[in-house]
Amino acid sequence: MSAPERIPPRGVTTAELLAEGELTVRGRIREASNAVLLCDVSYAGREAACVYKPVAGEQPLWDFPDGTLAQREAAAFEVSEATGWGLVPPTVLREGPYGPGMCQLWIEPPDGDSEGDGEGGDGGGAGLLALVDAEEPGDGWKAVGLAEVGEGRTALLVHADDERLRRLAVLDAVINNADRKGGHLLPAAGGRLYGIDHGVTFNAENKLRTLLWGWAGEKLTPEAVEALERLREALDGALGVRLGELITGAELDATRARVAALLASGRHPEPSGEWPAIPWPPV
């Protein structure tokens, strides 16, 4: 009798952990507009913190069909993965204690930054956004536009000229993100930066609303062109199939068209109106 084959213990991936693990709700994030629950998830000896946003807790919106935000969050993760940039924390759809929803890995701020915004409590932006009393953005910064700062005064809204933000600007153009604000930029260990909160994405109409307009009209970097070419191919293959389960056919077609338009122009998109569309409040 031959000895049974030895199968090495299988490592648990983050996606498996999130999708299969046991969810324990620890609390609710108060400032969120949808129900956002902070949870622990554990599976086969692995544990992590995550957010769980049940579909039942989604705030209805006039311009997005009800009950579809969780799917859009999962779709944004899939697109981010296909770029190879890893800009969106692992996100899955699953059942939870309040029904189906999305589950996303919780991103811890880098060591020593208990505020999680990179500069000790400016309410978001990770030190990557600023309002300056000047006409030009200054070295290392890109201008978004003039902002009212009260008492009839204006200031220049700027964001960092940061390659991670520039990738995020490309991702947002592809997923048609209607809500890229400062609080949705999460710095993490190892100099990484994640974008979160992708519920209002993939609309078939142009909804790009972002603080990251600093590169508007500028040539895409060669790495962005490569990523977009990868995406174009992926959208005709496995990624297209996966997105077809998460968004409508018209929304998938529009996503393909946005990728094609970016590649055709070779440039970052420009605001469609006279003023760049920015989310409100911006942080």
Ligand X SMILES: Nc1ncnc2c1ncn2[C@@H]1O[C@H](COP(=O)(O)OP(=O)(O)O)[C@@H](O)[C@H]1O
Distance CA 30, CA 39 (A): 14
Number of residues assigned to the chain: 283
Instruction: Give the one entry of ligand X, Mg ion, none that residue 149 binds, where binding means its C-beta sits below a cut-off of 5 to 8 angstroms depending on kind.
Output: none
Answer for which of 17, 18, 23, 36 binds ligand X (CB under 6 A) is 36
Nearer to ligand X, 17 or 216 (CB): 17
Question: Which residue from 197, 202, 214, 276 is in contact with ligand X, where contact means CB under 6 A?
Answer: 197
Write down the H helix ranges in 31-127: 69-83
φ/ψ of 19, rounded to 5, equals -80, -35
CA 240 centroid distance within chain: 19
Helix (H) or strand (E) segment spanning residue 101: strand 99-105
Q: Out of 68, 71, 83, 104, which residue is the one contacting ligand X (CB under 6 A)?
A: 104
Residue count at the site for Mg ion (CB under 5 A)? 1
Distance CA 148, CA 157 (A): 10
Task: Point out which span in 6-14, 74-82, 112-120, 192-200 binds Mg ion (CB under 5 A).
Answer: 192-200
By CB under 6 A, is residue 29 in contact with ligand X? Answer: yes
Give yes or no for residue 58 binding Mg ion (CB under 5 A). no
Using rule CB under 6 A, residue 126 touches ligand X:
no
Least spacing, CB of residue 45 vs ligand X, in Å: 22
| 48 lies in the binding site for ligand X (CB under 6 A) | no
Q: 227: closest CA among 171, 281, 173? A: 171
Q: Which is nearer to Mg ion, 116 or 240 (CB)?
A: 116
For the CB of residue 108, give the shortest distance to ligand X in the complex, in Å.
Answer: 8
CA dihedral over 270, 275, 281, 283, signed as positive or negative: positive
Region for residue 100 given its phi and psi (left: phi exceeds 0; alpha: psi -120 to 50; beta: otherwise): beta
Of the residues 199, 214, 276, 279, which one makes contact with ligand X according to CB under 6 A: 199
Residues 6+ positions from 132 with CB-CB distance below 8 Å: 138, 141, 155, 156, 158
The listed partner (Mg ion, ligand X, none) that binds 228, CB under 5 to 8 Å by sort, is: none
**Hey, what are 247's tokens?**
């968004």
CB of 34 to Mg ion, least distance (A): 8
Report the interface residues with ligand X, using CB under 6 A: 29, 32-34, 36, 51, 89, 104-107, 183, 186, 196-197, 199
**Residues forming the site for Mg ion (CB under 5 A):** 197
